[in-house]
Every structure is written in C-alpha cells, then in structure tokens.
Structure 1
Amino acid sequence: MSDGVEARDNEEKPVTRFSRGRLSRGRGLRKTTGCLTCRKRHVKCDEVKPVCGGCNRTNNVCHYDNKKSKTRVTQSSTRDRVENATPLQAEAEVSEDIGSTFDQLNNEVSALMTEPQAQNLSQENQHTVTTISNTTPCPHRDNYSMLDPEVNTPTDNNILNRVADFHFTHAIANLNNRGAPSTTSSNHNVENATARWVGLLFQDAVMQNEGLWNMNFEAEGFNIFGNSVAHSPVDSPELNEQCDLDRAANSPENPYLSERHPVLGQDQILEKRSWISESPIAILTHEHIAFETFVKHISEWMDLFDPNKSFAIHVPHLAVHNVGLMNAILALSVRYMSLNPSMKSMHKFAPNDALQYYYKTLHYIQQAMQYDTYKTSLELVATSLIISTYEMLDGSSKDWERHLHGVFWIQRSQVIHGDSKGLRQAVWWAWLCQDVFAAYLEKRKPFTFWRPTRNLDELSPHELAARAVYYFAQVVGYCAFEEVEAGKRDVLPRIARGTALRESLQLWRRHLTVEFKALPLMPPAQKEVFEPLWIHPPAFGVAMQLFHASNILLSLHCPILGDLRMYSNLRKSLNESIRAICGIAMALDDFASSLICSQCLFIAGLPLESPEQRCFVLGLLDRCRQRAGWPIRSLSDKLMNTWRSMD
C-alpha cells in the first residue's frame, strides 16, 4: 500500500530540469535596442544618448525608437489574430494597430528625406491618421497573405517598404471617404489586392527619391476627369442617366462585349461618372506622337496571341476617356522611344520624360481608388499591365518581378484567367508572356496556378497558339531552382512529372491545325547554317518555337534512366528542336514576335557546341533585339557567358 502511494506521489511531482543558464536561441539573444541609424548600417551601437558614438563619429542623425519592442509585440499578436480571422474581423484587428505605428513611421521616413520633404510628409501624415481614425477599419499590408495561400511573405522591416506602407495606407484612407466598404469577401479581396499593388507603385516612387515629392499636380490643373468639361455633362443629366440605365439593362450576350457594359445599379452608374471623362481628353502635340506609337507599334507585343487586338483597338478608346490609363500609355511609349532614338519621330524624348507620366498615373490611381467601380474596371486592369510593361523596359528584373506579382494579385482577386473572354483575357495572356520570360531568367516558378478547363479539341487555332504559352509556363516551373533541388533528393517523382509534361506537349502537337505547318519559302541565295521555316501568322510560328523550347528544357532538366539508345534519341530530339526554333526565327521579321522569339533562341543556343551554329544564333538574337528595342541587357552576352562556363 505504501509502495502505491509513493509511486503516485512520484508521478505527481514535476520533473526538475537543469540548464547552464543559457537563453533560448529563439529569443533573448538578438538586441532590439540601439539607434535606428546604426541598425540600418548594421553596426554595433553603444546606445549613448542623445547621440551615440557611431553617429557622432560619422556625423549622422542619431534617432532612437523607444516604442520598437512594444510595436513588434503588437504586430506579432495582430498577425496571429489576423491569420485565424474572417476577412472583416481581420480588417478590424489590423486597423487597431495602424494608429500606434504612425509616429514611429514618421521618424523613420524623416530620416531618409530632406527637411522640406519631411515637413510636408508630417502634415500629410497627421491628416491621414485623423482620416483613418474617423472611418471604418481598413486593411493593412501584412494581412494580404490571406488572399493567396501561396504568398505568405513575412513582415519586411526595410524602411523603404515601410515608406510604401505609409502611402499605401494613405491611399486606403481615400477608399473610406465614400461610404462603407463592401461586406462580401470577393469585394474585400479586390480592394486588398488593388491596394497592395498601389503600395508597390508608391514604393517605386520613393526609390526614385525625386519627382513625385516635387510635383505639384494642382498647379498643373491635374484632375481625375481629364479636363474641365467633364465636370458638367454636355447633355441633360437625366437623359444621360436614362441612356446608361437602358444600356445596362440590355447587356450584350456576346462574352467579348458583355464586359464592356456590365449591369450596374443607378448609384454605380453615377459613381462611374466621377472617374470617367465624358468628353475626349486633350493631349499635346508630342503626346499625340507617343500615343500613336503605342497604338500602331508597342501594342503589337501585347496583342500577339489576341486575334481581337484588344490593346491596339479597345484600350486606346478607353484611354481617351480615362486619365490614368492615358498617362500609363504615355509613360510606356515615351520610355520606349527614349530607349530607341533610332525611331523616326518629330520629337526626341529623354529617358526622364517618362517619369512625369508615371507619377501622374500613380496620382490618378490613388485618387480613383475611392470608387468601387474603378477597382474592378477594364481601365484599371489595362493600366496594371501597361505599368508592368513599363517596368520591363526599365531593366530592373526585381522591380519587374514585383509588378508582375502585383498584376497577379489583381487578376486573382477578380478571377481573371486565360478563358475570361474579352479584354481581361487579353490582359491575362499578355501578362503570362511577360511572367514566363521573367520567371525563366530568375529561375523561379511563374506566378499563375490556373488550370484550363476546356479540352484541346474545343480550341480555335488562335487559342491553340496561346495554349503553347501555358505549357511553356508549366515547363519553366519544372525547371525552377526549388524544383531542381527537390528533384535531387527524390528523382523518381521528378522523372514522372517530366514524362507527364512531355505527353501534354505531344498531345497539343497532335491537335494542331494546318495553319501551324510551314508555307513554301524561296530558298536563300546561299546555303545557311539552318533551313528557314515560314509559319504565318507570326503568333503560330512563335507557338511552335515555344513547343520546341519546352522540349529542350525538359531534355536538359529531366533525369534520364535508360541506356545509350535513349540518350541517342534524346540527342536527336534536341537537334530537331534547335533546327525548328532557329529556322522559324530566320523567317520572322516582325516586331510583335521578337521578344518571345529571342527567349526561344536563347534556350535553343544552350546545348550548342558548334562554333558556326553558336555564331549564327548570336546573329539571330541581335536581329530580334534590333527589331524590338529590348531587352536592355543583351541575351547574347548572357548566352556567351553560359557557353564559357560550359567550355
């Protein structure tokens, strides 16, 4: 009996554990004190106040943040509550934390600016805090991971990102100035995704460290209508309103036209007039040149796989009644023309001329974000893609990648994909062409995870051509760095995945129509390294290039389990794809296909060993670059560096 009692007592006593007095590695070892300047420079701070020793030696401004630890705990607890909350509960939780962090953000931003800029920002910030505290809760940048389970970015403590957060919050404050936000989760996601993209735009403006801070939009007479005529309709308001109601009630059944006339309530129709100009927007003479360059030239990039030519036909008509879209077009066109001085034009543009239109676009979006009808409009969707193309021309791969991700947020929140019909579908395919290019160069997965629902035998020839971009995106994802590393640990699933992709490509090839076959072509005057192949229209030729580029990437990245015969067959397949890509490139001489053609040529050149073939591929790459005026960094140089590393 006593033994049982003694055993029970031993069970109830807590086990005593001894340690050597070390702090946990997870917490307590990293210092969170010190001045902001030393922490930004990643140097040790002696914490002497009011000016520490490091700042005294370097003559830097020394500033301490006494609320840092408290703010960090608050943000952490808020993030935990947000992850387990509904969208509306998450808004309320995060909005409680916004006001407490504005003082800290003011001080950090001021340390990066000149004194006049800091004073202006302080006044603007005070107004924004008042606006937010007196309105309904607004979303914050940290809770956007709820929109996409694949995107779960931790809080970034970089000061430039926090500067963007301030402008993002300022834009959100404008959303709340007109009515209560929508209570549906879809509208909540649309609002969050669009606002997050706006945050990226303002972060870029801060990184420029000029321009936006010094522009006086009011002095230039800038308004979201486009001109003063739009303030007062030229016809009777009652008559215009009735016409709008009749048009909305009789929405076209054609899916390509129904998106232009969505069914709107009377309040929405009146609200839409607040950001649309009823009369055409007046632009200057040199702006006409830039606008015409976009319509007749640059839009061909985006319309390569769109038989309706939406960016050349539909988007310009939207732009003449929308200031934001018009300025985005002008920014892209002026930037492109400044990078290509050889273009024939009566006006020569400098590289910085595009910045004023870029900043005007940001200003317009910030003002128009208060209208729900704008956040789901065709104008905003087109503007987002054009700004992404602007970043593509700018030459910074990281900035371009961030904007491609921003367009992805907007598209997913509005359920835009490759079968959306109309302009939204055209925007999606143009975005995917950009995304796969950037993803391959950065060795990452494309952002899209859409899966087509229609079978290949349901597609038209133009839709079959566009589907080649989709399969190429799948192969690029297969070749991403993380997938390659995972395949090294487990080879068999990677081989199975590669085999499945090959079968999908071959199934696509079996469904091709006669339009994808080569047409007769006059033989060249002298023998060439490769035989030219003429496939018309160019989009179909590019689709065949993408098919063969996908086969090359699979051959280079898929492990082989077989004998010498399998290796020989693989080598024959590689040579066939290389000849096809180079032969099609020899016959392509248009501007629209040059971008994707150059990427396929780059992939075709990777396994080449013959000096003659290498030199010929470099010549084809240079021809594509001359036609397109892009990329800024030559793919020829990148390909030669790859060859040097192989040799």
Structure 2
Amino acid sequence: MPGVPSNKACERCKKRHLKCDEARPQCQRCINAAVDCPGYVQTCKFIDQGAAVRRRYAPYHGEQVNRHHNPANTLGNALTSKQTLPRNPLGTNPDAAGRAMPGPSRVQSATTVPAPGSTLGIHQLVSNSPAGDSLQSSSPGASMQARSIIPTPDGFSQDIDPAGIVRPDPFIGPPWNDVRSSSTPKQPFNDLAYGSAAMTPRRRQESSHTEHTSPQSPSQADENESIQDMYSDLISDSGYEESFLVRYYVEALAPWLDLSDPRKFFATHVPLRAKDDVALRYSITALAAKHLGRMKGVKITENTGLFTTPAMMETYSDVSDAEWLHKATTYCYLAGQRLNTALSESYTAVSSSAVLKSPFETINDWLRRQYKKAPSDSETQTVLGKRLENSLAVSTILNLYKSMDEPAENWHSHLSGVKPLFETIVRLFDDMTPAPTSFPPGVIAAFWNVVRQDYLTSYLNRMQTHLDPNNFKLWRYAGIPLDDEGNIGSIRNTFSLPEDLSFHSLARLSCKVVNFMAESKKSFLQQLIRSPSVEGSGASSPYPTTSTWLDLSFEYQAWVERLPESFRPCVRLDKPRNLAAMPGATPVPFPEVYYSLPSYAFAMQMCHFGRLALSLNRPADALTAPSTAFDRVQGYRELTKEVDYRCKEIIGIALARPQTCARVYMAPLLFAVGQFQEALEEQQIVVDLLRGIEADLGWETDSKIKALQTLWNHQ
C-alpha cells in the first residue's frame, strides 16, 4: 500500500498544534521561543483507500501473503511487535488480574498470541475491520505501534490502537471525535434509506464483499476511486477538524437558519442528528468550511474571550482560504452523494449526475415513491417524518452553501423543485391516519428558510414566487391558522399575535406583495405591446386592480395593529453624531434603530419595504386617480414623503448593526432603497453597509454595489 509521511512537524509544534516550518535541524518556532527543538520523527502512515487501491496493489495484499504464511512466522511477528511496543501514554500497567496499575511500564497488547499450529494469520493481527485499517510503522530505532483486536457484541472483532481509541469505519465516514465513535448508540430504526449508517458489521462485510466481487464498468470504477480519493484527503485528523467545523457552524451559521424559529432547530437538533446521519454531517462541515474560506480563515463567533484560553475545538492550525474552499467543495459533494444514496433505498452507487441534481428534486422523487406505499401506521409515519426532516435540513444547508457567494438573483434557480416538493408533502400528510395538524418542526424550519429566500430573489427578478401564498392548506401546515378566506383566525384571549406567528404571517404577506409587483410588470408589458388579452372585447382591467392594492394595504395595517409590544425598538437615535468628530460636524442623515431580537429588526425592515413597494406600484384607476393637476402634484409630494420615510427606516435599522442572522438578508433591501438616494453622503452610507456585510459575514454583495453605482452614474 502507498506510504505517505504522517506528520512532518517537529515534536514540540505537533504537541502544541502549531504550524511548523520544518526547518532543519531546528524549526524557526523553537528558535524564536528560545527552546531546544526536539527534532522530527520520520513515521509513515499507511491509509487504506478502499477497493480501488486494493485492486491496484493486489499482488502485495495480505490475502495473497496469507496463503503462504507460516504459523511459526506469525507467532514470531506477533512476539516481535509485542516487544517493540511504545510506552503507555496513559501511564498504566495492567496486572495479572486485569486491574490498571500506575507506572511507566510498556503497554501489553490485548491480542492473544496464537499457540503453535494455530491458523491465525498475520493480516488478522494487523486489521480485522471490514474496510481495513491504518498501520503505522517507524524507521529503524523508532517504536512501532501494533493494533489490538476487541470482540464486539455481535461476535465480530474491531481493532483499537494502544491508546484504546476505536478506529473509524471509512464506509460510514469520520466521526465527530475518536471517543464518540466508540460509544455511538444504535440507530432508533433500521431503514434501508439510511444506507450504511444503519448497517451492522456483518452487513458491512457482506456489502464490502459484494463490492469486491461484482463487476463494474470502467467509468463507475473510476468514479468510486475518485470518491475514495476525496475521502482520503479529508480523513487526516478528521475527528479534530470536524469538531472544529461543527462548533463553528453552531455558533456562527446556524442562527442564520433559525432567524424566525423559536425552537432553534438548526442550532439544536441538526448537530445532534448529524452524529448518525452522514449526509447531514457533511453538509454542516461543507457550509462551515466554505464560510471560513470566504472569511479568509477569520472566525465571526460571538464567544470571544479576552482573558481566557479558548477550547481546543475552537482553534485550528493555519489553513489558507483556498484550502478551506477545497475542503468545502469536497464536503459538499460527499453530502450530495450521501443524500442521494440514502434516498435511493438501495446499496448501489450513485452516479455523479444524480449528485448534481437539485436536492429538493431528489427528496420529491423519494416522497413520490413513499406516497405510493400509503403509510398508515404511526411507527412508519414517525420514521418517515424524521427522514424527511433530516433530508430537508441537508437541502436547506446546501442551498445556503450555494447562495453564499452568488448574487441574490441566482437564488431563484436554486429553488427549482420547491413547489412540487411541498405539494407532495401536503398530499402525503393529508393521507396519514390520523391526519396531523402541522408539519414536523424540522419541515417547518426548512419551509420558512425557503420562503425567505423565495420572496427576496423573486423581487429582484420581478417574478412570481415558487410558493403560492393562496395555497391555504400549505400555510396552515406551516403554522399559520388561516380560514377559508385566507385571513388569520382569532387568537384566544389576546388581541396581538405571538412573535413567531407575526413574523411568519408577514413572510406570507411579503410573498403576496412580490407577486403583485410581478403582475404589475406583466400588465405594463402587455400594455406596451398591446397584447390581445388586454384589448380583448369586453375584457376587464388586467390584474392587479385597485381593489387588490387596497386589500394588501389593509392587511399591512392590520398586521401592524396586531403586533406584540416586543416588536418596538428598544433604542433609537434620530440624529446620531460621531462623538470623535469635530463639534460642528453634520450628523448622519439616517437614524439608528435597534431591536432586542434580530428577527424583529428584519421583520420591520420587510414591513417598511412592503409598504414602500405598494406605494410605488399603485395601479391607475379612473375613480381614485387625481382629477386636477394640483391633485396630481400633491399626490407626488405625498409619495415622496412616504418613500423618504420608508428608506430612512430600512437604512436606520441596518446602521444599528443587528446580529448577523438579520444582516445577511439585508442586501436585497438595501439595494432596493439605495436606488432612491441622491446625495453622495447617503449613497456612500449604503455602499459601506453593503461592503460591511460582505467583509464581516462573507455574504456576496459586490454585484449589488456595482449595480447601484451604475445607476447613480446615469442619474
């Protein structure tokens, strides 16, 4: 098997987890610290990269050597490896009774030495796992680490290193850390869709045997080999790297997905479920690695101690942004591959073309197959609901992964397949017995993330939203108690709405306004080209009509009147002034408005944006239009005041710098209100806010800045 250097760093840098320059005879870090460099240990690390490498190096594999081995030689090799074991890192020495005794004695191998005439092969002493394990050998004079074999409850063996750490199974994927891999509980249910995550060791051996013996086409073999190569790039120190990335996701990125979720599903439940769901784990690490690459390796976590030492999982060795982006791409591909494999309900390999398919379309295909089965018992519904939650969480995280560095106009294509997917979910839940009153929490959390991106990108493209706001049954399942006319029913014993219901009802109202604007643009284009649908005989005025505009205006007014008290800003500066500037300096032309929760800040921005869009897109009507020139001028003045007020409120909320989960979604709104700024100072403030979002959060805003500058130059 191929041997590669395991670690070229000196012993001091390796223990301190520092990047070593590998200078000889002493590294620069030790010289700067005025200490003697302990030197370098030249060890080779042999990595089993799967069936492709085993086929390539078949003449040298243990199975062929085993046919000609001598039991006496096996015994001699076992005794030799036992005599050259390193010192016990835990400082214990098991006595004859099996008790741990303190002392610096050598570790005794747990491997039973075979008696003369035994048929135990040398390859069984080295590795007994289905996929093979790593063997570390050292140069002459250095100690060799031998593997130990421990029995498992199902009668098979699993190898451990002298430190007592169980090796991860490459078929399942790297664990969070080495300790978790030895104590992971069994799956709550054993379903084919979870693939390798639910396989017992015997089934993994059978699957591995099938993979070795079944014929494969050259393209499929090359594809499997490329996946193994990608996995081998990540397997080095994978437990530590994944622990770092998962913690970074929970602290910095999960709040972006939990903006309006009081349960905090993506921050609380998703990391726990990712322990047993490989696709979910890879999607988390892909998102975290990509964000670190966008941030040039700078963390944006709020848990920053000024006088305390960070935890080991909070730090990571110096990694360039290009390497983080490469890791993110690999993790993302593996996440898509695992998701397709899990939902294919088979053990066959998934082609790369299927991995490139939209995750929402993949889930929809799987749900259609489940719909034909018509699940009725409660246990099947529970399993189906959990699998659906996990799959939607993977799709939502990967969707955020793709949206991070692309213009918001491109988000519309990322959401293709969302409408038929949720329509299938609604039909599936309708047929359940008993019929549930709402989606599971994970489905609801994914749904509102899709809605948020849907109306933002649809506004920029002047297109209809993917999700229909008039599909009352869908929004009822999502948590909004709508009646048959689409109005929110009365809440018991209170006039105001709960905070989460207020936020979600505003999101649905925003979808209706965006569709109204899309229809206004369509109607305007039809009038320009004199479409027959407009000039048809007896045709009424095209949608949208004044009555539709009035209905939306009344809905906004009713939403504001039913807001809870907590939606009011807790701090407001109408004329903020820089205290470090000169006494006669001009104050900032915008206020600073700060809300206690980021969801409130974003909700109020969306409220001002929706009412601004309605004011600018009021349809002409012969009955309500101004009759005289003075009335028209007066109407223009009132519209100008309305636009100025709404723009100042939206920019003022952004100037107060709410939490990151609200700032990442502000770019389309700042782009919308930035078009109305005429003074150079006001334009510069909008540009600084957009640049700050990209610099602080890694969110793409450069395209919006260039579009605004082009627009301002032509004014």
Partner residue of 2:453 out of 424, 429, 434: 434
Counterparts of residues 272-287 of structure 1 (less than 5 Å) = 274=195, 276=197, 283-287=238-242
CA offsets, 1:176-212, max 9 Å, x none? xxxxxxxxxxxxxxxxxxxxxxxxxxxxxxxxxxxxx
- Aligned 8 A contact 2:594 2:658 in 1: no
Tell me the CA shift for residue 398 of structure 1. Answer: 7.5
> Where does residue 500 of structure 2 map in the other structure?
462
Quick one: distance in 1 between partners of 2:596 and 2:437? 23
**For residue 440 of structure 1, what is the amino acid of its counterpart?**
Y
> Which residue is 1:116 aligned to?
none
Superposed CA offset, 1:241-299 (max 9, x none): 9xx6xxxxxxxxxxxxxxxxxxxxxxx755577564599x9953222222222111111
Listed as ranges, the matches of 1:89-108 within 5 Å are none
What letter matches 2:448 in structure 1?
W
Of 593, 604, 613, which residue of structure 2 is paired with 1:544? 604
Aligned length: 398
CA distances 1:483-531 after superposition (whole Å, capped 9, x unpaired):
5535765467443322222221111111112112122346544521112
The question of 1:553 aligning with 2:613 is answered yes
State the alpha-carbon separation in 2 of the partners of residues 422 and 354 from structure 1: 28
Q: Residues 76-225 of structure 1 correspond to what in structure 2 (within 5 A)?
A: 221-223=170-172
Aligned with 1:298 (options 249, 253, 277): 253
Paired position in structure 1 for 2:333: 359
Task: State the partner residue of 2:137.
Answer: none
State the match for 1:138 in structure 2. none
User: Given the superposition, is the C-alpha separation of residues 325 and 487 from structure 1 closer, same or farther in structure 2, using an over 3 Å criterion?
Assistant: farther
Deviation (angstroms), 1:634: 3.8
Cα distance in 1 for partners of 2:688, 2:660 equals: 16
Check the 8 A contact 1:478/1:484 in 2, yes or no: no
Structure 1 pair 374–335 and aligned structure 2 pair: CA distance change class (3 A): farther
Deviations 1:111-132 (A, max 9, x none): xxxxxxxxxxxxxxxxxxxxxx
Q: What per-residue deviation string (whole Å, max 9, x for no partner) do you get for residues 450-492 of structure 1?
A: 4454317533122202322222222222222535535765467
**In structure 2, what is the equivalent of residue 476 of structure 1?**
514
Distance 1:234 1:535 in 2: 42
1:225: Cα distance to partner? 10
The 3 A distance-change label for structure 1 pair 516 and 270 is closer
* Offset at residue 338 of structure 1 (A): 0.9
Match of 2:228 in 1: none
Contact 1:457 1:511 in 2 (8 A): no
Aligned to 1:203: none
The answer to whether the Cα contact below 8 Å between 1:277 and 1:322 also exists between their aligned partners in 2 is: no
Q: Return the match for 1:595 from 664, 674, 697.
A: 664
Aligned-partner Cα distance in 2 for 1:625–1:418 = 41
The CA distance in 2 between the partners of 1:418 and 1:627, in whole Å, is: 41
CA contact (8 A) 2:593 2:653 kept: yes
Change (3 A) 1:366 1:541: closer
Q: Residue 467 of structure 2 corresponds to which residue in structure 1?
A: 448
Q: In 2, distance between residues paired with 1:441 and 1:427? A: 22
AA partner of residue 449 (structure 1): D
Kept after mapping to 2: 8 A contact 1:618/1:636: yes
Distance 1:607 1:405 in 2: 32
Partner of 1:377: helix, strand, or coil? helix
Q: Displacement of 1:547 after TM fit?
A: 0.6
* Residue in 1 that maps onto 2:557: 506
Query: Map of 1:227-306 to 2, 5 A cutoff?
Result: 271=192, 274=195, 276=197, 283-306=238-261
Aligned CA distance change for structure 1 residues 315 and 529 (closer, same or farther; 3 Å): same
One-letter amino acid of the structure 2 residue matched with residue 330 of structure 1: T
Greater helix proportion:
1
The 8 Å contact of residues 225 and 276 in structure 1, kept in 2 or not, is answered as: no
Which residue identity is paired with 1:362? G
Deviates more, 1:617-626 or 1:356-365: 617-626
Change in 2 beyond 3 A, CA 1:520/1:465: same
- 2-side partners of 1:398 and 1:221: how far apart? 39
| Contact persistence 1:594–1:627 (CA under 8 A) | no
1:485 corresponds to: 525
Q: Aligned letter for 1:320? A: K
> How far off its partner does 1:357 sit?
1.2
State the SS of the aligned residue for 2:563. coil
Aligned position for 1:335:
290
Deviation at 1:642, TM superposition (A): 2.7
Q: Which of 388, 393, 417 is matched with 1:406 structurally?
A: 417
- The 5 Å alignment of 1:28-47 reads none
Letter in 1 for 2:331: Y
Change over 3 Å in CA distance of 1:356–1:558 after alignment to 2: same
Q: Secondary structure at the match of 2:332?
A: helix
Post-superposition offset of 1:342: 5.0
Q: What SS does the corresponding residue of 1:414 show, helix, strand or coil?
A: helix
Cα distance in structure 2, aligned partners of 1:621 and 1:231: 43
Structure 1 match to 2:400: 389
- Range 319-328 or range 567-576, more displaced: 567-576
Which letter does structure 2 place at the counterpart of 1:510?
Answer: E
- Structure 1 stretch displaced more, 409-418 or 454-463: 409-418
In structure 2, the CA distance between the partners of 1:547 and 1:483, relative to structure 1 (3 Å rule), is farther
- Cα distance in 2 between the residues matched to 1:581 and 1:473: 19
CA contact (8 A) 1:487 1:493 kept: no
CA distance in 2, matches of 1:231, 1:298: 25
Q: Hey, what's the Cα distance between the residues in 1 that align with 2:649 and 2:656?
A: 11
Q: Which 5+ residue runs of structure 2 have no aligned equivalent?
A: 1-167, 201-234, 300-314, 346-369, 371-382, 430-435, 473-479, 483-487, 492-496, 529-533, 535-540, 580-586
Whole-angstrom distance in 2 between the partners of 1:418 and 1:442: 34
SS in 2 for 1:306: coil
- Counterpart in the other structure of 1:531: 591
CA distance in 1, matches of 2:265, 2:527: 41
Q: Please list the CA deviations of residues 25-54 of structure 1 after superposition, one character each: whole Å capped at 9, or x if unmatched.
A: xxxxxxxxxxxxxxxxxxxxxxxxxxxxxx
Q: What is residue 497 of structure 1 aligned with on the other side? A: 548
1:151-195 deviations in whole A, cap 9, x for unaligned?
A: xxxxxxxxxxxxxxxxxxxxxxxxxxxxxxxxxxxxxxxxxxxxx
**Amino acid across the alignment from 1:628:** L
Mapped contact 2:193–2:343 kept (Cα < 8 A): no
How many Å apart are 1:607 and its aligned residue?
A: 2.2
Contact 2:191 2:198 in 1 (8 A): no
SS at match of 1:305: coil
Take 1:516 and 1:395, find their aligned partners in 2: how far apart are those partners?
A: 32
Shift of 1:229: 12
Q: CA RMSD in A?
A: 3.7
CA distance in 2, matches of 1:379, 1:392: 20
Offset from partner CA, 1:89-127 (integer Å, 9 cap, x none) = xxxxxxxxxxxxxxxxxxxxxxxxxxxxxxxxxxxxxxx
Percent of paired sites with the same residue: 22
* Aligned partners of 2:260 and 2:500 also within 8 Å: yes
Partner of 2:76: none
Aligned-pair CA distance for 1:603: 1.6
8 Å Cα contact 2:259-2:661 kept in structure 1: yes
Distance apart, 1:617 and its partner CA: 2.0
CA distance 1:287–1:270, shift in 2 (3 Å): closer
- Quote the Cα distance in structure 1 between the aligned partners of 2:240 and 2:701: 28
In structure 2, relative to structure 1, the CA distance for the partners of 1:401 and 1:510 (3 Å cut) is same
Task: Decide whether the 8 Å contact of 2:295 with 2:695 is kept in 1.
Answer: no
- Contact between 1:418 and 1:425, CA under 8 Å: does it hold in 2? no
Contact 1:531 1:583 survives alignment (8 Å):
yes
**Alpha-carbon spacing, 1:503–1:226, altered in 2? closer, same or farther (3 Å):** same
2:281 is aligned to 326
Deviations 1:295-351 (A, max 9, x none): 111111111111221111111111111001111111122112111105146244442
